[in-house]
Chain A
Amino acid sequence: MISKKLAIEVLNTGLSTGADFAEIFVENKTSGAITVDNGKVEGASVTKTFGAGIRLLQNNRSVYGYTNDLSKKGLVKLAKSLSNSFHNKQVVTVTSIKNKSFKSVAPTAIPFESVDKQEIVDYLKKGVKAIQEYDKRIVRASGNIGYNHRDIVIFNSNGVQIKDSIERGRVAFQCIASENDKIETSHVAPGAASGWEFFKNDTNPEGLGKAAARKAILMLGAKECPSGKMPVVIGNGFGGVLFHEACGHPLEASAVSKNLSVFSGKLGQQIASPLVTAIDDGTIINGWGSNNVDDEGNKTQRTVLIENGILKNYLIDDFNGRRMNEKGNGTCRRQSYKFEPTSRMSNTYIDNGTSAPEEIIKATKLGLYAKSLGGGSVNPATGEFNFACSEAYIIRDGKVCEPVRGASLIGQGKDILLKIDMVGNDLKRAQGVCGAASGMIPVDVGQPTLRISEITVGGNGGELK
């Protein structure tokens, strides 16, 4: 996309006023999306993301700029303009650039570009048909596949060039069911850092469609969820969004390094129940949140964040690592060249425990079974979080009973980790898109079935009896 010769010139222009580090991040990504709504293809698009971001660092300061003019003139102009932020003599000079390569953790067998779009359409139609045929109360069924091929090249003042390519694809089947003025929506959305083979070999559109339909119909008949404090069993898979929001974000160096996180300065301390071991792993083969290299060119890795309740590691990027005297651990990510990169999660999950999921339910006298969560958010400074349940039931005398809707879970991240009192052995990961300072990025969340001894449940159904 740009030559080494030009990269050296741009880096040195950026470094000319005393920056101690310079980086060029070049991106060329082609994305496609196809939408089938109620059985017909209603939308199809192609989007090309193309440009470069330049980052200059001087101690704890960063300046960032981006442009989609990748000509010599455009890049030198940007580097010059950014360098105006510093006023010292040049301390680093780039004279040569060597290639650095990495082993791929996301091999692709069938690139999306090679797939006949009709094959994608047929796949979506199968899933949509399965939703429509599930129940007469389903008023709308849609399916969407989004995929992309991303090429990046990173040059930096350490004299290296890193090239990487990756493909990702994700399908979402959505269902809307309606009866007597009530409307319920549901969706399922698996994805992978893989080519078309993930859809062709590893997923079944009819099964996914049915799963979406089942959930919407079930919730249509559900009563309002009761409210108050109660034990809550959270189902495996997307239930892991709880850990992601309440504990994962506060472990990111962007918050930790500035002492803005409840977990700042707590390395080596007990921050969770001894039953909890949590991991961030950017190297899972074809994992939705995996990357060969991170967006500042460091190799991705498997990082144990919490081991038996003890805080072991943070998620660190090189820049925020400066405040912490730590090197980055391959977690620096960004949505695109339009975002300055920072520490982010990849595939983050609570590891397996020893209880069978049935045992956990059986051990709960009266409480909520949040089989799946819909998403949530957290205030990193206070640790307060909230999650909505997309499928939930009341547990009575150790049995899963009536479904309830409109349930939300609220609490404090640091408390909740300590209140986990049973961890299952059925770890599962699920796909999501995480939004934060450096944009929207694909991530996996995950956990086995687990129980929180007490958490505040919000709902409109009065007291739990």
Chain B
Amino acid sequence: MRINENKFFALAKENGFEAADICYSHATSTSVSVFHKEIDSLTEHESIVVTARGIINGKFGSVETEQIDKTTPQFLINSIKDTARIIEKDEKAFIFKGSKKYHKKNVFNKAVAEMDVSDAIKTCFEIEKKLYAYDKRINKVITVGYENEVGDSFLANSYGLKLKSKEATYTYYAQISVKEGDEIRTGFKVFASMDPNEFDIEKFVKDVAEDALKKLGGAPCKSKKYPVVFSPETFSTLLKCFLGPIDYEEIEKKSSNFVDKLNTQVSSKKLTVIENGLAKNIFFTYYDDEGVAVNKKEIIKKGVLKTYLYTLENAKKAGVEPTGNGVDTNGKVIAKLNQLFVKPGKKSEAEMISKIKEGAYINELQGLHSGMNARSGNFSLPSAGFMIRDGKIAEPLSMITIADNLMNVFNNIKDIANNLELVIQTSTTCPSVYVKKISVTGK
């Protein structure tokens, strides 16, 4: 069942709404995980979520529901009225009439939507078998899983704007533990794509296995300040935290360390970061939650901060164009980064590391939710990786903590390698990055 948007807008008008919008997200998925040569769990789902907003007396009201039946339109209207009534923002709320141009691309690949779950189950079993065969020290394949999701969404407003998107993605993931003596380490990898032919089982098995095996023998290093090389994954994690507070709302409320930093040097000149939600991969998006067109833009150019992120409301306040970063979080729109690209350097990772006599290579960061204060930039994070000795990766490191301030780290970037990698967890394509010195606590 579906709510007819025009009927909803008509009902909104009858109820004195100045404008309204409605968004549907419909998704179906199948996911499966295997354990010990058996299917451990299999999940199927189909769901619809409807979010709607309306303006009454210049204030926004907002609602979200998963119950779609004949009572829904009135529930939406009542909830919007009920929430709009208590909003006290000074600025008059408005709904966007639309951007001049949208860069819509068809990223939906029917072949992914039609992937057969029984084939995927066979692949999961094969991954499990290959992992056990890879190395005797692999003592447990904790889980191997697959997920296939098809989603389509639709945004419409009472000014006649209608935007649609549809995508299908699939994911494989695996987690293992390895054991040598009393020491246990774990390894985990995730692969996601919109092309069924892209999955390379041999490479995936190797990546998962090596992720765990390389950690064996890990021990803390001597505590001191070391030159540090971050892997693409760990650097992208720090980058996302670093740029978190460039939402203009944080700037306006003085709760960000980027206040008054627009068009100033905020990092080493080596760093250029581009945001491009339009890149054709699993993170493709061409409009944001407010219906604003997504475009490619520079965030940091040679160390200079080129823009803050503006929702519609904040763009109006600041007298600039909205940036296509609006995300509706329980009725409050905030600005969040779309996928990022870090401009690569010229050297390979090995060449970059070859210059370091003694340092640390960090490829795992934990405890972001508690050890990272993105607003102040202070962090203290349990980490793992390897020592770098005489220009080469040496023994594994575990139970260490790196601590510093993000502003310092980004200003101390010494070099950037050319090993670009799309990191699924952070929706960022980036290479390894060399930072002059960071405090590492070990023993």
Contacts and interface: CB of A to CB of B under 8 A. Distances in A.
A115 to B, nearest CB: 12
A298 to B, nearest CB: 20
A338 interface: yes
A374 B370 contact: yes
Interface string B223-236: 10000000000000
Interface stretch (A38-46, A97-105, A203-211): A38-46
Contacts of B174: none
Contacts of B344: none
Contacts of B40: 60-62
A140 B253 contact: yes
Interface stretch (A126-134, A154-162, A181-189, A193-201): A181-189
A111 B106 CA distance: 48
A46 B370 contact: no
Contacts of B220: 456
Contacts of B90: 40
A176 B373 CA distance: 11
Interface stretch (A268-276, A355-363, A401-409, A442-450): A401-409
B164 interface: no
Contacts of B42: 62-64, 82, 85
Interface in A379-412: 379, 381-382, 384, 386-388, 405-408, 410-411
Interface in B118-155: 140, 142
Interface in A80-102: 81-82, 85
B186 A381 contact: yes
Interface stretch (A47-55, A165-173, A300-308, A416-424): A47-55
Given A28-B67, A62-B40, A64-B42, A42 B88 contact: yes
B219 to A, nearest CB: 12
A286 to B, nearest CB: 25
Contact of A183 (B1, B140, B376): B376
A129 to B, nearest CB: 14
B7 interface: no
Contacts of A386: 366-367, 370-371, 381-382, 401
Given A381-B142, A381-B177, A43 B332 contact: yes
A8 B75 CA distance: 30
A38 B255 CA distance: 11
Contacts of A460: 378, 380, 403-404, 439
Nearest to B408: A460
Interface stretch (B57-65, B262-270, B304-312, B345-353): B57-65
Interface string A4-47: 00000000000000000000000010000111011011111111
A42 B87 contact: yes
Nearest to A121: B86
Interface residues of B, number: 71
B369 A46 contact: no
B193 interface: no
Interface stretch (A66-74, A289-297, A310-318): A66-74
A375 B367 CA distance: 8
Contacts of A228: 223, 441
A48 B67 contact: yes
B355 interface: no
Interface stretch (B45-53, B275-283, B316-324, B387-395): B45-53
A63 B47 contact: no
Given A68-B47, A388-B380, A46 B142 contact: no
Interface string B26-57: 00000000010011111111111000000000
B255 A181 contact: no
A190 interface: no
Contacts of A117: 82, 85-86
Given A38-B253, A228-B441, A381-B184, A81 B371 contact: no
A45 B64 contact: yes
A45 B47 contact: no
Given A48-B64, A227-B403, A408-B381, A260 B140 contact: yes
A227 B401 contact: yes
Interface in A215-233: 224-225, 227-229
Contacts of B398: 384
Given A46-B83, A384-B399, 20 more contacts: A33-B330, A41-B86, A43-B87, A44-B83, A46-B62, A50-B66, A51-B47, A67-B46, A81-B44, A121-B86, A183-B373, A184-B373, A184-B376, A224-B403, A259-B140, A377-B367, A377-B369, A406-B378, A408-B371, A460-B403
11 contacts: A33-B331, A41-B86, A44-B61, A61-B38, A64-B41, A69-B1, A140-B255, A178-B255, A185-B376, A384-B382, A408-B367
Interface of A: 28, 33-35, 37-38, 40-51, 60-69, 78, 81-82, 85, 117-118, 121, 139-140, 176, 178, 181-185, 224-225, 227-229, 258-260, 338, 340, 373-377, 379, 381-382, 384, 386-388, 405-408, 410-411, 456-460, 463
- Which are the 3 A-B pairs with shortest beta-carbon distances? A458-B401, A45-B331, A43-B332
